[in-house]
Structure 1
Amino acid sequence: MSATTAPAIPRSAIISALVLVIGGLAVIFDGTIMSVALATLASDLDAPVSTIQWVTTAYLLALGVAIPVVGWAQVRLGGKRLWMIALTIFLLASIACSLAWDAPSLIAFRVVQGIGGGLMMPLMATLAVQQVPAGASLGRLMAMVSLPAALGPILGPTLGGLILTWLDWHWIFWINVPFCVIGLALAWRLLPSDPPQGRPALDWRGLVLISPALVGILYGLSNVGQDGGFSRTDVWLPLLAGIALAIAFVLTQVRRRAGALIDVGLLRRPTVAASGAILFLSGAALYGSMLLLPLYFQIVRGADVLAAALLLIPQGVGALLSRTMAGRLTDSLGARSVAIAGFVVMGLATIPFAVADAGTDMTWLMIALLVRGFGMGTLMIPMMSVAFVGLERDQVPHASIITRLAQQIGGAFGTAILAVILEATTSGATDLTALAAGFDTAFWWAVGFTVVAVGVCMALPSRTEPAEAAPATPSAAAS
């Protein structure tokens, strides 16, 4: 079926996507705002950085553990009910975080926040896509659903810098409340009801394997930035254990098929496998660079936290400008061309930072950030939409879980790799020239992620017909 004759996207799906985006913005902004708040939290809560780091690490781990159960929970509870439960958990946990009295209480509340956020993230795409008729082009819909994921890493640090400059850290969590309250009200009124589809048994064996696997991988990667890098015991040991458990999980899921926690058989579909791989690499490039950019502005250019955050605004503007165009091009040209173009633009716009020094004209760097944001916003649409092409309704939650985990782990991987490279290249640097050279090396690695991603993009369909013709895999939705 060509894009010109594809069924139209129902108005209800567009409305649902907008409702889901409002709630999703709370989760994305919350996670990215914290990237600029750790130093303030350490000072105000009188806790060492090693302890405060768990404010983000514990959230990340809880997020990863919650994601795999979304498919089962949606069948058991219904998508609308699960979305509202998850959003309520996130709302109450946000309020609790704002009232935290010390570091341990804040970390505990962040775990609860992570559980709510982990349930919400895969549901955003799932609930929207399940309302679209088979064969419909998904580019326009994904342009809306992926908006929080594109804007969060860009605007989150900016909001965080503004809040910490004019208010105090408690407001970092109160900013979630309006999104959650409005999101709940709109979800109750506008999301279509989808009753539970049965009372399936939870795949406990799969959950017992995948939960510690994700904890091990994400925890190990989160420690890479400390002295010693990958040679640290708290890096390689949990990483190896996590990878071993992940392999065991995949083997059990392939054998189980019916009632599996995650339908890993979907990875036999070239579009799902390629989408997961590309989202892994895009997560590495996006989140890895979001580590480098604020540090470059602060360390090499002497900006304070707020100024560094404000300097990232052009990147957010570029991402916003690309949304509508990228959705339409994905529907008309197919995922491959648009994704390749997005990665090429993103890579080329990163090069100015890879050759910059302490005296590079900031005007050119701001233009590069604008163009870089345009590329990032462009590539996000085809990567997310192609994974769902040709899937049955009950396969959609599993594809959403796979792609979400790929991006989550990719972000942790990219941040870890670039943190190690930056530490190695700037260690012992005594002047701005040496520091700038170290950042140049790290940015070249970020460019390298985009080059590899362009190669992987060749596995994507040029148009939607090949993906729709792909053989269907048995659904692993619980019966």
Structure 2
Amino acid sequence: MSKNTATAGDQVDRGLPRIAFILVLGTFMATVDATIVSVAIHTLADEFGASVSEIQWVSTAYLLAVVTAVPASGWLADRFGGRRVWLAAVAVFLLGSALCALAWSAASLIVFRVVQGLGGGLLPPTGQALLARIAGPARTGRVISIVAVVPMLSPVLGPLVGGALLGAVSWQWLFLVNLPIGVVAVLLARRYVPAVPPSSKQTAFDVRGAALLSPGLAVLVLGLTEVAAGRALPAALGVSAGLAMLAGFIVHGLRTRRTPLLDPRLFTRPPLGAAALALVVLGASVFGTTFLLPLYFQTGQGLSAFQAGLLLAPQGIGAVAGSVLVNRTIDAVAPRTLVVTGIALILVGTVPFTQLDHGLPDIAMASALAVRGFGMAMIGAPVMNIVYSRVEPQHLPRASGALNLLNTVGGSVGTATLAVVLQDQLASQHRDVAEAYANTFWWVVALGLLAAAGATRLPRARAPKSP
């Protein structure tokens, strides 16, 4: 290795933590904002004179906008460059945040949340792909192990931050808090994040694919939320239409001679197929549990939203501790070993919640959540490292978009499925609240076993090193 090459590598190593921190700010804003409003539903309903079912669209609209935006992230980064798209996404997200704070009705707030979600949906995949491109395969594992912990912390931090803000200031600050963070992120990114040139192979935007994939996902998620709400006809129409549009997209993606918005063939290339399954199930498990536990703490134990969020803190602490371990071992330990161990820890941490009807002590809950958090940190980063270190640089934006899309859809589908199971359990005769939740957690265990089956197909060998 020449002296100049070594010097350039040293400069990259010294600058990577700073670049990772800057790009993580965008992911932090987008993912926390997905859950920060959950504790303010009743406050917003009172403020705008709307019903809880109407104001729930403040959360649903954001999620649908995110699902709509993620598939386009790869093409946008290829066409305009990763840093430029990331900066534009922050700007759109901040615009949506400011408009949300100025909302005068429930309808206006819902519309402005769509604007916010379109920007927020682009931030995680664009930031991860940009960071992986700057780091290179040899350094990807270490930086991704830091970045990957943020989406795991957001379901824990969102309710905590939201509850703290509502206890001190007005509801507008749920959105205004993003402005200083976003402005700092933009200023730092313009100064320290290097520009990555657009792809040399310019492709036309896949209009037909976009018309099938993004709306299909949005309609499917919408249909699943209707299933959870117990509305049979809208649910059946939404799920059927969504699945039909997604099937149409797969057929289009396989037949088109142009570059599709998201290439279905990506998932046939090892190890992306197994990695995709692991991330889908991880998203379902993480967001599903984060949905179930606060609801149980509030309905079953009579706690406030802030107290319920506070009880989830051990999971965040476990995730941080796990990310430290993964950061030190990700380049030395086989990825399958880390992922399978992480899934096993999640299962160990989930089983105690199947005994909620037997009076599970608080210390047992806290310990189980810490173990779950530790296990979650051992899955996301190694899976992303497997993919990012084996995908050609020009394919990173689209691979990142695919992984983030699957994680988001997994969380949405998992939450909706568990909501349906919980509703059925609560409706059963002679079944108390704790027993209903305990039985529902067996489904979370089943998701973990499904993820373990997929993880056995991950590579045994460590990620390849580049010079």
1:114-133 matches, within 5 Å, as 114-133=117-136
Measure the CA separation in 2 of the matches of 1:73 and 1:278: 26
- The within-5 A match list for 1:36-115 is 36-115=39-118
1:383 aligns with 2:386: no
Which residue number in structure 2 is paired with residue 216 of structure 1?
A: 219
Shift of 1:416: 1.0
Task: Render the CA deviation track for 1:136-166: whole Å, top value 9, x for unaligned.
Answer: 2532111122132111011111111222223
Q: Secondary structure at the match of 1:225?
A: helix
1:438 aligned residue: 436
Shift of 1:429: 6.8
Aligned to 2:192: 190
Match of 1:342 in 2: 342
Cα distance in 2, alignment partners of residues 200 and 456 from structure 1: 33
CA distance in 2 between partners of 1:258 and 1:141 (Å):
33
Alignment correspondent of 2:6: none
Q: Which whole-Å deviations, capped at 9, do the CAs of 1:278-324 have from their partners, x for residues lacking one?
A: 11101111111111110111122221212111111111111111112
The alpha carbon displacement at 1:383 in A equals: 2.0
CA distance in 2, matches of 1:245, 1:237: 12
- 1:449 is aligned with what amino acid? L
1:98–1:174 CA contact under 8 A, matched in 2: yes
Tell me the residue number matched to 1:4: none
- Give yes or no for contact 1:165–1:306 (8 Å, CA) kept in 2: no
Counterpart CA distance in 2 for 1:393 and 1:256 is 23
Conserved 8 A contact 2:323-2:377 = yes
**TM-score in terms of structure 2 length:** 0.93
Give 1:428 deviation, angstroms: 6.3
Contact kept, 8 Å, 2:130 with 2:196, in 1: the verdict is: no
Cα deviation for residue 274 of structure 1 reads 1.0
Question: Deviation of residue 184 (structure 1)?
Answer: 0.6
Q: Any conservation in 2 of the 1:13–1:129 contact (CA below 8 Å)?
A: no
Match of residue 462, structure 2, among 440, 461, 464? 464
Could you tell me which runs of 5 or more consecutive residues in structure 1 were left unpaired when the two chains were aligned.
1-6, 469-479
* 2:452 corresponds to which of 454, 459, 467: 454
Give the aligned partner of residue 477 of structure 1. Answer: none
Alpha-carbon distance in 2 for matches of 1:42, 1:429: 32
Q: Deviation at 1:101?
A: 0.8
| Alignment match of 1:162 (pick from 161, 164, 167) | 164
Identity of aligned residues (%): 38
State the TM-score, normalizing by the size of structure 1.
Answer: 0.90
Partner residue in 2 for 1:178: 180
* CA gap 1:152/1:267 in 2 versus in 1, 3 angstroms: same
How is 1:1-400 mapped onto 2 (pairs within 5 angstroms)? 10-134=13-137, 136=138, 138-197=140-199, 200-228=203-231, 232-256=232-256, 258-357=258-357, 359-400=359-400
Q: Aligned pair in 2 of structure 1 residues 370, 429: CA closer, same or farther (>3 Å)?
A: farther
Which residue identity is paired with 1:407? Answer: N
Amino acid at match of 1:437: E
Q: CA deviation at 1:256?
A: 2.7
Partner Cα separation in structure 2 for residue 97 and residue 166 of structure 1? 19
Letter in 2 for 1:217: L
Q: Which amino acid aligns with 1:207?
A: A
Cα distance in 1 for residues equivalent to 2:141 and 2:136 = 14
Contact 2:278/2:451 (<8 A) preserved:
yes
Deviation at residue 401 of structure 1 after TM alignment: 1.2
> CA offset at residue 258 of structure 1?
4.2
Structure 2 match to 1:472: none
Residue 116 of structure 1 aligns with an amino acid whose one-letter code is G
- Over 4 Å off, 4+ runs: none
User: Is 2:159–2:305's contact at 8 Å kept on the other side of the alignment?
Assistant: no
Which whole-Å CA distance do the structure 2 matches of 1:130 and 1:52 have between them? Answer: 40
Q: Distance in 2 between matches of 1:62 and 1:150?
A: 20
Distance 1:265 1:13 in 2: 32
Amino acid at match of 2:432: A
How far apart are residue 392 of structure 1 and its match? Answer: 0.9
Instruction: Give the drift of 1:259.
Output: 2.8
Structure 2 residues not aligned, in runs of 5+: 1-8
Q: Give the whole-Å Cα distance in 1 for the aligned partners of 2:115 and 2:212.
A: 21
8 Å contact kept, 1:21–1:147: no
Q: Is the 8 A contact 1:389 1:464 kept in 2?
A: no
Q: In structure 2, give the amino acid aligned to 1:447.
A: V
Aligned length: 456
SS at match of 2:357: coil
Deviations along 1:333-375, one digit per CA (max 9) or x if unpaired, are 1211111111111111111111023743212211222222111
1:75-105: CA deviation from partner (whole Å, max 9, x where unpaired): 2221111111110110111011011111011
Aligned alpha-carbon RMSD (Å): 2.1
Structure 2 residue 419 is matched with structure 1 residue 419:
yes
- Asked if the contact 2:349–2:368 (Cα under 8 Å) also holds between the matched residues in 1, the reply is yes
Distance in 2 (CA, whole Å) between partners of 1:299 and 1:262 is 41
Q: What amino acid maps onto 2:419 in structure 1?
A: A
State the SS of the aligned residue for 2:425.
helix
1:246-268 alpha-carbon deviations (Å, 9 max, x no partner)? 12212222233543222332212
Deviation of the 1:62 alpha carbon:
1.1
- For residues 93-137 of structure 1, the C-alpha deviation after alignment (integer angstroms, 9 at most, x for no partner) is 101101111101100100100110111121121001112334x25
Q: 1:118 & 1:205 partners in 2: Cα distance?
A: 20
Q: 2: distance between equivalents of 1:429 and 1:172?
A: 40
Moved more, 94-103 or 36-45: 36-45
Cα drift, residue 194 of structure 1 = 2.5
Separation of aligned partners in 1, 2:275 and 2:74: 19
In 2, Cα distance between equivalents of 1:309 and 1:358: 22
The residue type equivalent to 1:462 in the other structure is: R
- Give the letter for the 1:272 counterpart: L
